[in-house]
A = this chain, B = another copy of it.
Amino acid sequence: MTRLHVPVRLRWSDLDAYGHVNNVEVLRLLEEARISAFWAHPEAEEVDAWPTAVLESGPAATSHTLVARQEIEYLRPLAYTRAPVRVEMWLGRVAGASLDVCYEIHGDVPGTPRTGPTLGEQPFVRASTTIVVTDAASGRPRRITAQERLAWQPYVEPPVVFRRR
Contact = CB atoms under 8 A, between A and B. Distances in A.
Interface of A: 9, 11-13, 15-17, 19, 22-24, 27-28, 31-32, 35-36, 41, 43-44, 47, 66-74, 80-83, 109, 130, 162, 164
A83 B12 CA distance: 20
A28 B24 contact: yes
A138 to B, nearest CB: 15
Chain A binding surface SS class:
mixed
20 contacts: A12-B16, A12-B17, A13-B24, A13-B31, A15-B17, A16-B17, A24-B24, A24-B27, A24-B31, A43-B81, A43-B82, A43-B109, A44-B83, A47-B82, A66-B74, A69-B72, A69-B74, A70-B71, A70-B72, A71-B72
Nearest to A17: B15
Contacts of A109: 43
A127 to B, nearest CB: 9
Nearest to A130: B164
B12 A15 contact: no
Given A11-B28, A24-B31, A68-B73, 6 more contacts: A36-B82, A41-B82, A43-B82, A44-B82, A69-B74, A70-B72
A28 B13 contact: yes
Contacts of A83: 43-44
A32 B82 CA distance: 11
**Pairs of residues from A and B, 4 with the lowest C-beta to C-beta distance, nearest first:** A44-B82, A15-B17, A23-B67, A41-B82
